Amino acid sequence: MTDPLTEKFTNNTLEEELRIMLVEKNNECNSLKAEIDALKKIVAEEQEGKYRAYIKFADIQQELKVLKDSTK
């Protein structure tokens, strides 16, 4: 669980072990929160890109319809 140097210089009580576990889990939790935030940002950018592509596609379809109608 802990490295040998830490064990040598700390009071190896249950309380100390639990404190170390708590710190490790807190660090893990913070890391996961950061990863979730990054993933949310990526998903939002992807959705925005899809939306913009859909709008452009609809505009091009409308333009094509206007061109077809004007050539009749």
**Confidence band of 65 (pLDDT split at 50, 70, 90):** very high
Q: What is the pLDDT of residues 8-48, one digit of tens each?
A: 666 678 889 999 999 999 999 999 999 999 999 999 999 99
Above 90 in pLDDT, residue 58?
yes
For tokens 């996961």, name the residue: 32
Q: Note down the domain range covering 50.
A: 4-70
pLDDT at 5: 65
Q: Output the six-digit token pair for 23.
A: 């710190």
Q: From CA 35, how far away is CA 37, in angstroms rounded?
A: 5
Write the CA distances from 39 to 2, 34, 43, integer angstroms.
Answer: 31, 9, 6
Q: Is the pTM of this model over 0.75?
A: no
Cβ pair 44, 25 in contact under 8 A = no
Question: What's the number of domains the chain is made of?
Answer: 1
Q: From CA 30, how far away is CA 23, in angstroms rounded?
A: 10
